[in-house]
Amino acid sequence: MAFKKTEPNLPDNTPLNPIPPSSDATPAPDLSALLTQTQDASTGLQNKAAAKVRRTVLAVVGLSMLVILFLIIFGTIRQKNYEEASALFDSEKYSQAAEAFAKLGHFKDSADRTIESQNWASYSRASNLIEPYRYDDTTEAKQIFLSLGDFQDSAEKAVYCQNRINYAAADDLETAGDFTAAQAGFEALGDFNNSKERARYCSDTLDYQAACALIEQGDYAAAAEKLAAPAKSYYEDADDKLELCDNKIDFAAAEQLLADGKNDHHAHDARVARRQLRGDVARHLDLPLMLLAGIGVRAVDHYLLAQLGGLQQGAGRVDVGA
**Reported confidence tier of residue 55, pLDDT bands at 50, 70, 90:** confident
Question: Which range has the worst mean pLDDT, 32-36, 131-135, 185-189, 227-231?
Answer: 32-36
Q: In sequence order, what are the residues at sequence separation of 6 or more whose Cβ sits closer than 8 angstroms to the Cβ of residue 210?
A: 226
* The pLDDT of residue 267: 39
Percentage of the chain beyond pLDDT 70 is: 70
**pLDDT tens, residue by residue, 270-296:** 444 434 543 444 344 344 434 344 444
Average pLDDT over residues 63-92: 85
**pLDDT tens, residue by residue, 243-273:** 999 999 999 888 888 888 765 444 344 444 4
* The pLDDT of residue 78: 85
Whether residue 298 is predicted with pLDDT greater than 70 in this model: the reply is no
* The pLDDT of residue 258: 86
The dihedral sign for the CA sequence 81, 87, 92, 93: negative
**pLDDT tens, residue by residue, 93-152:** 999 999 999 999 999 999 999 999 999 999 999 999 998 899 999 999 999 999 999 999
Question: Which range has the worst mean pLDDT, 58-72, 88-102, 295-309?
Answer: 295-309
105 and 82 Cβ atoms separated by less than 8 Å: no
Report how far residue 87's alpha carbon sits from residue 214's, in angstroms, rounded to the nearest whole number.
71
Does the pTM exceed 0.85? no
**Reported confidence tier of residue 18, pLDDT bands at 50, 70, 90:** low
**Reported confidence tier of residue 26, pLDDT bands at 50, 70, 90:** low
Whether residue 62 is predicted with pLDDT greater than 90 in this model: the reply is no
Report how far residue 108's alpha carbon sits from residue 114's, in angstroms, rounded to the nearest whole number.
11
Where do the structural domains in the chain lie, given as residue ranges? 244-322
Report how far residue 249's alpha carbon sits from residue 230's, in angstroms, rounded to the nearest whole number.
19
Whether residue 303 is predicted with pLDDT greater than 50 in this model: the reply is no
The 3-state secondary structure of the chain, one letter per residue: CCCCCCCCCCCCCCCCCCCCCCCCCCCCCCHHHHHHHHHHHHHHHHHHHHHHHHHHHHHHHHHHHHHHHHHHHHHHHHHHHHHHHHHHHHCCCHHHHHHHHHHCCCCCCHHHHHHHHHHHHHHHHHHHHHCCCCHHHHHHHHHHHHHCCCCCCHHHHHHHHHHHHHHHHHHHHHHCCCHHHHHHHHHHCCCCCCHHHHHHHHHHHHHHHHHHHHHHHCCHHHHHHHHHHHHHCCCCCHHHHHHHHHHHHHHHHHHHHHHCCCCCCCHHHHHHHHHHHHHHHHHHHCCCHHHHCHHHHHHHHHHHHHHHHHHHHHCCCCCCCC
